[in-house]
Amino acid sequence: MRMSLLSKIWIYFLLLVTSAFVFFPVLYAFMISFMTGPEIIQGKFFPESINFENYTKVFSRLPLMNYLLNSFIVSASVMLGQLAVCSMAAYAFVFLKFKGRDFIFFLFISTMMIPWEATMIPNVFTIRKLDWFNTYQGLTLPFFALAFGTFLLRQHFLTIPKELHEASQIAGLSRFAFFWRVVLPVSKTSLVTLGAYGFLTTWNMYLWPLLITTNQSVRTVQIGLKQLQSQEIATEWGVVMAGVIVVIIPTLLLLFLGQKQLQKGLSQGALK
Amino acid sequence: MTRFAHFWRKSVDGRAAILYLLPSVILFSVFVFYPMFRTIYLSFFLTDQTGNAAIMVGFENFMYLLGSSEFQNSMKATGLFVLYTVPITIILALFFALLANEKLKGIGFFRTMYSSTMGISVAASSVIWLFMFNPSIGMFNRLLSVFDFPQIQWLLDPEWALISVAISTIWMNLGFSFLILLGGLQNIDEHLYESSRIDGAGYFYRLRRITLPMLSPTLFFIITISLINAFQTFGQIDILTKGGPSQSTNLIVYSIYREAFINYQFGTASAQAVILFIIILIVTILQFKLGERRVHYQ
């Protein structure tokens, strides 16, 4: 049965208005990033001309290139680390029989109930003791193990037919070969979902890098934004917004490309 | 010897399991379980500057917190913040998801728009909203002046600051809630609708009788996650208000952060962290107890 024309128009109208509202702040920031000081004070919405002066300024005020590179290294490492650690654990939970499996699985799940912020004080001390302040390992390693990720992959691994496992054993495939050459390729969609999720959340992480970076060596873009905002406030909003746009472009692109995948994968992990 | 060989062969899965689980187990032990117990331990102590336990004080840290107006204020602000943000975020996200679930031309574009805030970090969002809330050149006060309304000192007015932060937070969380809810909607079996259409049921009847009941597991999940997230709010507070004005936005995680890393009071900070942990535990357990009764699984 088809929708009537009237209700179609009505729905398009609602879609347009509400999505414009949602996207407005980003568009606004984008416009501001091309404006000069006086234009911003006049309260315009469209810049008089498109020039990239604010963008060149923001790169000269801050080691933004460094920060971007740091964020990229940190996010990619956490992504790969999570994929490796979580898929190994999920494999053990699905394909290996051992004593205490349910108990260990319960322990994993219980970590989801511990808010990360409740443990951050001793974690900072641990990082200090390891002398990992201002290091990539300090920024990344604590996040490699992820109960949600293990759970998500486990759900996918459970759908792999048992016959495949048996056949691989008969064919004399080692455990690791089965894991590497059968389980992982079959679960590509879940791995992509988890990877995108891990990259996105790490790129956007704020509190942890704030706590354990004290200089510019491994500082991430999010902390760069805080710096920029507190340095430039009230003076050059155009430069600040240029910084914002540079920081959000990589994740927005990733989201636009992987939106379908994320939405499917995350809701599956949520439900089963 | 043969018995040993037998045992060795039988436990081969177990030994492999140890290898596969070892990375997770080590990381969880070092960065989740140990610090959780350590936090509980520290909450019973006065600490020195480096965070070592110095004097055992029993429940004194907790007593001090419960009696301090500062902490009471922080708890109140946190509670209000959760109340302001969670229901509105979910209702808006649900509304958008229902719209974006219609099969229309170009719907992919709208889905991307709605989910966009998920790709924008808390720090970047906060900076954008900081500008929009700016009392002299921000958009909100300009709009108010267009309509001749009195100006509002959004983030500087203790009456308004928490509401302002809540508004920006609702926006930040919309994208994620939307994506989850849309995913839930798309998992609903089409056939359910087809039979009801033949019966001539209207849109809202179908919404109430089919869509919402079938969506309830997803709704339940997103409510739990949103509640927990709201209690963990930090970034927007640090950038927008720093807990002010007159501590009206001093939410619990910000309060822990300040107590620990600015005032170096690790004992009372740990006690607050324990309270945060207990709150989240209660929320999760309550959710599951209530959810079990309400949720309709397929």
Cβ separation of A119 and B253 shorter than 8 Å?
no
Q: Which amino acid is at B198?
A: I
Q: Do B17 and A96 touch (CB under 8 A)?
A: yes
Task: Determine whether the interchain pair A85/B24 forms a contact, defined as Cβ–Cβ distance below 8 Å.
Answer: yes
Distance CA B178, CA A196 (A): 17
Confidence of residue B53 (pLDDT cuts 50, 70, 90): confident
A18/B180 CB distance under 8 A = no
Which residues in chain A are closer than 8 Å to B100, comparing Cβ atoms?
15
pLDDT at B293: 64
- Asked whether residue A31 is domain-assigned, the answer is no
CATH topology of domain B62-294: MetI-like fold (1.10.3720)
Minimal Cα distance from A244: which residue of B? Answer: B124
Helix (H, G, I), strand (E, B) or coil at A77: helix
Is the CB of residue B264 less than 8 Å away from at least one CB of chain A?
no
Contacts of A141 in chain B (CB under 8 A): 27, 31
Beta bridge partners of B45: B56
Residue in B39, B142, B284 nearest the CB of A113: B284
Comparison of pLDDT for B31 and A169, the residue scoring more: B31
Instruction: Give chain A's domain count.
Output: 1
Q: What is the mean pLDDT of residues B83-104?
A: 94
What are the chain A neighbours of B28 within 8 Å (beta carbons)? Answer: 107-108, 111, 145
In a domain, A114, yes or no: yes
Residue B4 tokens read as 């040993």
A244 touches chain B (CB under 8 A): yes
Q: Enter the ipTM.
A: 0.88
- The candidate with the shortest Cα–Cα distance to B55, out of B64, B63, B45, B65, is B45
Which DSSP letter does residue A233 get? T
Q: Is A171 on the interface with B (CB under 8 A)?
A: no
Rounded Cα–Cα distance for residues B150 and B153 (Å): 10
DSSP state of B56: E
Q: Do B142 and A43 touch (CB under 8 A)?
A: yes
Q: What is the per-residue pLDDT across B253-279, written as a single tens digit (0 to 9) for each?
A: 999 999 999 999 999 999 999 999 999
A9 domain-assigned? no
Hey, which bits of A99-245 come out as E strands? Answer: none
Half-sphere exposure (Cβ direction) of A33: Cα atoms closer than 13 Å: 22
| Lowest model confidence (mean pLDDT) among A118-132, A189-203, B128-142, B204-218 | B204-218
Q: Is A102 on the interface with B (CB under 8 A)?
A: no
- Across the interface, whether the CB atoms of B39 and A122 are under 8 A apart is answered yes
Of A40, A244, A255, the CB nearest to B137: A40
Structural domain includes residue A41: no
Q: Which helix (H) or strand (E) holds A50?
A: none
From B188's Cα to the closest Cα of chain A, the distance in A is 12
A243/A250 Cα distance (integer angstroms)? 13
Compute the C-alpha angle A194/A197/A203, nearest 5°: 135
User: B110 and A15: CB-CB below 8 Å?
Assistant: yes
Q: Spell out the domain ranges in chain B.
A: 2-42, 62-294
Write out chain A residues lying below 8 Å of B175, CB-based: 255
A51 dihedral zone (left: phi>0; alpha: psi -120 to 50; beta) = beta
Q: Is the Cβ–Cβ distance between A211 and B261 less than 8 Å?
A: yes
Residue A243 belongs to domain spanning:
60-271
> Which residue in the set A3, A237, A248 is minimally distant from B131, CB to CB?
A237
- Find chain B residues with C-beta within 8 A of A28's C-beta: 128, 132, 139
Residues in chain B within 8 Å Cβ distance of A229: 127, 130, 239
Domain assignment present for residue A117? The answer is yes
Q: Which of B11, B12, B20 to mutate to test the interface with A (most CBs of A within 10 A)?
A: B20
d(CA A59, CA A152): 39
Tokens of B202: 């209207």
**Whether residue B298 has pLDDT greater than 50:** no
- Determine contact, residues B155/B238, Cβ cutoff 8 Å: no
Partner-chain contact B99 A247, CB within 8 Å: no
Q: Does A120 touch chain B (CB under 8 A)?
A: yes
Residues of chain A positioned with their CB less than 8 A from the CB of B111: 259, 263
pLDDT band (50, 70, 90) for residue B198: low
**Along the 272 residues of chain A, how does pLDDT read in single tens digits?**
457 888 889 999 999 999 999 999 999 999 999 988 888 888 778 888 888 889 998 898 889 999 999 999 999 999 999 999 999 999 999 998 888 899 999 999 889 888 899 999 999 999 999 999 999 999 999 999 999 899 989 988 988 888 888 888 888 888 889 999 989 998 888 898 889 889 989 998 999 999 999 888 899 999 999 988 887 655 688 999 999 999 999 888 888 887 777 777 776 655 54
Q: What is the pLDDT of residue B86?
A: 96
Nearest CA in chain A to B278: A114
Whether A208 maps to a domain, the answer reads yes
CA angle B126, B127, B131 (to 5 degrees): 110
CATH assignment at residue A154: 1.10.3720.10
pLDDT-based confidence at residue B142 (cuts at 50, 70, 90): confident
Tell me the residues of chain B between 32 and 91 that have a Cβ less than 8 Å away from chain A: 32-36, 38-39, 42, 50-51
Q: How close B224 gets to chain A, by Cα (Å)?
A: 11
Q: Is the peptide bond before B245 cis (omega within 30 degrees of 0)?
A: yes
Map residue A254 onto helix, strand or coil. Answer: helix
Residue A44 lies in a domain: no
Tens digit of each residue's pLDDT (9 = 90 or more) over B235-253: 999 999 998 798 999 999 9
Q: Residue A14 domain-assigned? A: no
pLDDT, residue B294, reads: 60
The one-character DSSP state at B54 is E
Mean pLDDT of chain B: 88
| Closest chain A residue to the Cα of B217, Cα to Cα | A271
Does A27 touch chain B if contact means CB atoms closer than 8 Å?
Answer: no
Q: How many CB pairs under 8 A join A and B?
A: 273
Nearest by CB to residue B232, choosing from A15, A117, A262, is A117
pLDDT band at B2 (very low <50, low <70, confident <90, very high): low
Closest residue, chain A, to B175 (C-alpha): A22
Quickly count helices (H) and strands (E) in chain A.
15, 0
Determine contact, residues B114/B133, Cβ cutoff 8 Å.
Answer: no
**B45-47 and B53-56 beta bridge pairing:** antiparallel
Whether chain A has a CB inside 8 Å of the CB on B223: the answer is no
